[in-house]
Chains A and B, each alone.
Chain A
Amino acid sequence: MAVPVSARPYMKVLPLLFPLAAVAVWAVCSHNRVFPPGSVPSPMEVAQGFREELVRGRLGDDLVASLFRVFTGFTIAVLAGLPLGLSMGLQLRLRDALLPTVNFFRNLSPLAWIPFAILWFGIGDVPAIFLIFMTTFFPVIVATAAAVTSIPKVYFRVADDHGLKGAELLWQVTLPAIMPQLITTLRVTAGLSWVVVVAAEMIAGRDGLGFLIWDARNALRPDLLVVGMIVIGLIGVAMDRVVMQLTRIPSVRWGYEK
């Protein structure tokens, strides 16, 4: 058996080379005062800020707050959007009736909802959860409906031949048939929610990583700003990795290797 490319030792190091080089360039530039004073913190300052945030315990709290909002909003959106998308994929009338409206909201930047989110829900968890819901609900509907529409007709013929109906048809044919596309959709929308939660917390939050960024800006602490950015980016990558694990389920592999 050949060793998969991703398992070769240098593949573990390769993705780290560029970030390490970037930090090195950054350190050299800072040391030689290339940047205008006060515009870019040095790596050492950022490391200091990182330790400060960890000791105060605020970084952990902010991280948990942001993750909770994303998880809640995302889960509600998928639980609501998936059945609606399924129905629209299976029923032409319903799709014709709802798709233009869904597309309208899908193309409306969720950030446009921020004023209403604050007006209706004040400050805290709820407006952020609402914004994440508005971000993911509509793409999940559209992607699910499209995936259902593209299921080859022959699967439904075979299901009919073997007497699969109702709930059995849904669980044994329709859902497994759209699973690969659904997982891709979850990856994309999970990424979107992580982008939006930062914006939501900057304006409608008292904690969370977005608020951390905003607070650092108000406190004129560019080092903490960079700390926030690094954490947000790393968590985003980690979340994507987690959702990607779903593509390893044996019964969905067919969607990724042809």
Chain B
Amino acid sequence: MSDEVLQLRSVSHRFGSVDVIDDVSLDVNHGEFVAIVGPSGCGKTTILNLMSGHDAPTRGSIERRAGSRMVYQNDGLFPWRTAGENIMLGLRHVLDPQERDRQRRDLLALIGLDGFADHYPHQLSGGMRQRVELARALAANTELLLMDEPFSALDYITRLRMRHELARMLAQRPHTVVLVTHDMGEAAQLADRIIVLTDRPARIRREYRIDLPRPRDLTHPAVVRATHDILAEMGLEGCGANGNPPGSEGLREDSGWTGVAAAPQTSDGGRLR
């Protein structure tokens, strides 16, 4: 269970004279769901691009032991292809046409869009489009899914629905996932581990772990607390003496929620334990 799919060793990256990522080390294990959160423009997407091999890091090393697929934040679907044809793009590696057709049908069923194979993206709602995008990424059957704020363009209700959809799809087709998001609730609802980044240049500010089965409710006490703690960590929410929201004292034992100090630079890292 603890074999690493992805290993980042002291990775730093700069664009021109701008340091974007500073000394990030991170292991992603097989089957894990890791969320990376941080202020916008802090280099979250850059980390994904490094993980996918699209960019090479300026310093440090990245080892990837599985194929990966990227799920993009805006419409990465080709608008000139129907939903079915877009999914077909992800099935290019399947050489037998009948098998490809069967897998396409399975994927459409998985995302609950059985009757929509011949619809073009502009004829689908934002949530449906994002589900097709997910199906296309799942089609490749790579172990690693890299998701770049996949739900950020959706409205709030749809976004909440998509989190459950994603959890359901992953239950049926397990993957190792790295999700980049600026939505703490999303991270807390979905991830096994949450990496909080600092402002640019991005370092790992803190790491949290949530040992609860998915799908989790947004209002599950552990999710609420994790959200609160991450927001407090980033200075976005006021915190009490020990960083816990009022009335959460009794949750600590059975909430499955543990904060882990990740790097020595967080001197106050122990306050959650």
Please report A residues at the B interface, Cβ cutoff 8 Å: 152, 154-155, 157-158, 160-163, 173, 176-177, 179, 250-255, 257-258
Contact = CB atoms under 8 A, between A and B. Distances in A.
A258 B120 contact: no
Contact of B81 (A154, A157, A251): A251
Minimum-distance CB pairs A-B, first 6? A254-B79, A176-B80, A251-B80, A254-B122, A158-B76, A154-B76
A163 B74 contact: no
B70 A157 contact: yes
A195 to B, nearest CB: 31
Interface string B50-81: 00101000000000000001101011101111
A179 B75 CA distance: 18
A162 B87 CA distance: 11
Contacts of A160: 54
B122 A154 contact: no
26 contacts: A154-B74, A154-B76, A155-B76, A155-B78, A157-B72, A157-B76, A158-B72, A158-B89, A160-B54, A161-B52, A161-B69, A161-B70, A162-B90, A162-B92, A162-B140, A173-B78, A176-B78, A176-B81, A179-B80, A252-B80, A253-B120, A254-B79, A254-B80, A254-B122, A255-B79, A258-B122
Nearest to B142: A161
Contacts of B150: none
B78 A158 contact: yes
A231 B72 CA distance: 53
Q: How large is the interface on B (under 10, 10 to 19, 20 to 34, 35 or more residues)?
A: 10 to 19
A129 B11 CA distance: 61
B121 interface: yes
Give the interface centre of B70, B79, B121, B140 by most chain A CB atoms within 10 Å.
B79
A160 B70 CA distance: 11
Given A154-B72, A179-B80, A251-B81, 13 more contacts: A154-B74, A155-B78, A157-B70, A161-B52, A173-B78, A176-B78, A176-B80, A252-B80, A253-B120, A253-B122, A254-B79, A254-B80, A254-B121
A199 B79 CA distance: 41
Contacts of B122: 253-254, 257-258
B134 to A, nearest CB: 13
A176 B86 CA distance: 13
Interface of B: 52, 54, 69-70, 72, 74-76, 78-81, 89-90, 92, 120-122, 140
Contacts of B69: 161
A152 B75 CA distance: 10
B120 A250 contact: yes
Nearest to B73: A154
Nearest to B89: A162
B78 to A, nearest CB: 7
Contacts of B76: 154-155, 157-158
Contacts of A251: 80-81, 120
Given A251-B81, A252-B80, A163 B120 contact: no
Contacts of B78: 155, 158, 173, 176-177
A169 B239 CA distance: 52
A152 B52 CA distance: 20
A157 B75 contact: no
Nearest to B68: A161
A250 B122 CA distance: 11
Nearest to A162: B89
A173 B85 CA distance: 13
A176 B85 CA distance: 14
Given A161-B70, A162-B90, A154 B75 contact: yes
B64 to A, nearest CB: 14
B100 to A, nearest CB: 14
B92 A163 contact: yes
Nearest to A155: B78
A155 B70 CA distance: 12
Nearest to B91: A162
A254 B83 CA distance: 13
Nearest to B146: A161
A184 to B, nearest CB: 15
Contacts of A257: 122
Contacts of A252: 80
Q: Report which residue of A157, A158, A162, A177 has the largest number of chain B beta carbons within 10 angstroms of its beta carbon.
A: A158
Contacts of A173: 78
B45 to A, nearest CB: 11
A155 B76 CA distance: 6
B120 A254 contact: yes
A154 B79 CA distance: 12
Contacts of A253: 120, 122
A20 to B, nearest CB: 39
